[in-house]
């Protein structure tokens, strides 16, 4: 019988000027750069300027960082932050939630489209590819940090996590692999149904959430309602919205398809570029998806046979 893999991966990449840099936080850095690169490659097709790409990247990075943090505090760790309110500002302690990341990124993109008078659906369709990439590598970060814990398993690929009883499903890798497989699928969808139709947005929302709903049955949720983990309800809502958008986009006429125009050249100001650099470096100080002190306390207090608290 195969010996389970013992998770002893280091959270830290290394130190710079005495400050620790974390693998988990680096995922956000790579994701922000992925958004910037994708839209830089697609901007002529979209009729965008270089400044448009930078502005979208900055607003999305801000939305992701705020949305992930606020969602984690309000939905997953409210009790802890009610007892320690000032720690809500301590991003270096950890605490980000994937559903909040997606919601915050969407809000950032929406704000950009309103400020620059861009069609939101075109932007949303194009965002599906870098979003799937970000969520895919994000789960790899969750596995490295030992954050998303699966249920107990006897399968040979079970993983033993520190402070957790028994071999567990590497559910973070299941979900990460699923998200990365969505990337080529969504590229094909955009070739068949160009940005602006809404098909890519609907397909992403539905496939991401519906498949995650199934995968999360192998996840060890701390609590929930009616026997279903908290995150599962957000998956169901998201899948439902995606299905509605997908049916609507396939049913409606094609007038909404993208019609790019040649933009007046416009470069991003230096200060905006520097802000983007800061936003890319900022997440390197985030160690985990749950607040590190909180999850260590929860796991230490639980009896060995009790379910382990999940990370968002």
> What is residue 174's predicted lDDT score, i.e. its pLDDT?
96
Angle at the Cα of 104 (from 134 to 110), degrees rounded to 5?
105
Max mean pLDDT range (144-153, 218-227, 259-268): 144-153
Contact 188, 198 (CB under 8 A): no
pLDDT score of 231 more than 90: no
- The contacts of residue 163 (CB under 8 Å, 6+ apart) are 296, 299, 300, 308
Give the up-direction half-sphere exposure of residue 253: CA atoms within 13 A in the CB hemisphere: 1
Give the whole-angstrom CA distance, residue 218 versus residue 230: 14
Contact 299, 146 (CB under 8 A): no
pLDDT tier for residue 307 given thresholds of 50, 70 and 90: very low
Q: Which residue did the predictor score with more confidence, 34 or 231?
A: 34
Mean pLDDT of 63-90: 93
Mean of pLDDT over the chain: 89
Which residue bears the tokens 């320690």?
84
Global pTM reads 0.88
- Tell me which of 109-118, 245-254, 279-288 is least confident: 245-254
> What is residue 309's predicted lDDT score, i.e. its pLDDT?
43
User: Residue 15 gets which letter from DSSP?
Assistant: E
pLDDT tier for residue 259 given thresholds of 50, 70 and 90: low
Report in angstroms the alpha-carbon separations of 247 from 51, 124, 211, 300.
34, 16, 18, 47
pLDDT score of 228 more than 70: no
Q: Which residue did the predictor score with more confidence, 220 or 249?
A: 249
Mean pLDDT of 263-285: 92
Residue 16 parent element (H or E): strand 12-16
> What is residue 222's predicted lDDT score, i.e. its pLDDT?
56
Helix (H, G, I), strand (E, B) or coil at 168: strand
> What is residue 81's predicted lDDT score, i.e. its pLDDT?
94
Q: For the chain, which residues make up each domain, given as ranges?
A: 20-259+267-301
User: Residue 193 gets which letter from DSSP?
Assistant: S
Give the whole-angstrom CA distance, residue 101 versus residue 127: 13
pLDDT score of 311 more than 50: no
> Quick one: how far is CA 120 from the chain centroid?
20
pLDDT tier for residue 1 given thresholds of 50, 70 and 90: low
Closest CA to 30 of 289, 311, 281, 285: 281
Query: For the segment 29-50, what is each residue's pLDDT rounded down to a tens digit?
Result: 999 999 999 999 999 999 999 9
Please state, for a pLDDT cut of 70, what percent of the chain lies above it.
89
């Amino acid at each position: 019988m195969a010996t389970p893999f013992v998770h002893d991966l280091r959270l830290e990449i290394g130190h710079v000027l005495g400050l620790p840099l974390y693998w988990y936080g680096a995922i956000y850095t790579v994701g922000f750069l992925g958004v910037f690169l994708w839209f830089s490659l697609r901007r002529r097709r979209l009729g965008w300027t270089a400044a448009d790409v930078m502005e979208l990247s900055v607003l999305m990075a801000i939305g992701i960082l705020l949305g992930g943090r606020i969602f984690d505090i309000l939905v997953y760790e409210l009790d802890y932050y009610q007892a320690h309110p000032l720690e809500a500002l301590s991003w270096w302690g950890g605490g980000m939630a994937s559903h909040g990341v997606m919601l915050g990124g969407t809000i950032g993109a929406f704000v950009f489209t309103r400020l620059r008078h861009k069609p939101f659906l075109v932007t949303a369709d194009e965002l599906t590819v870098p979003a799937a990439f970000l969520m895919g590598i994000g789960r790899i970060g969750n596995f490295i940090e030992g954050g998303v814990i699966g249920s107990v398993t006897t399968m040979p690929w079970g993983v033993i996590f520190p402070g957790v009883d028994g071999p567990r499903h590497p559910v973070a890798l299941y979900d990460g692999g699923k998200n990365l497989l969505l990337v080529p699928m969504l590229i094909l969808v955009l070739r068949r149904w160009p940005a602006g139709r809404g098909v890519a947005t609907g397909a992403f929302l539905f496939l991401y959430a519906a498949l995650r709903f199934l995968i999360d049955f192998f996840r060890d949720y701390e609590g929930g309602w009616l026997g279903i983990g908290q995150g599962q309800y957000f998956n169901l809502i998201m899948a439902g919205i995606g299905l509605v958008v997908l049916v609507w986009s396939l049913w409606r006429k094609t007038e909404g398809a993208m019609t790019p125009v040649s933009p007046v050249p416009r470069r991003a100001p230096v200060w905006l570029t520097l802000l983007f650099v800061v936003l890319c470096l900022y997440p390197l100080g985030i160690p985990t998806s749950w607040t590190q002190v909180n999850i260590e306390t929860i796991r230490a207090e639980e009896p060995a046979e009790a379910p382990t608290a999940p990370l968002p």
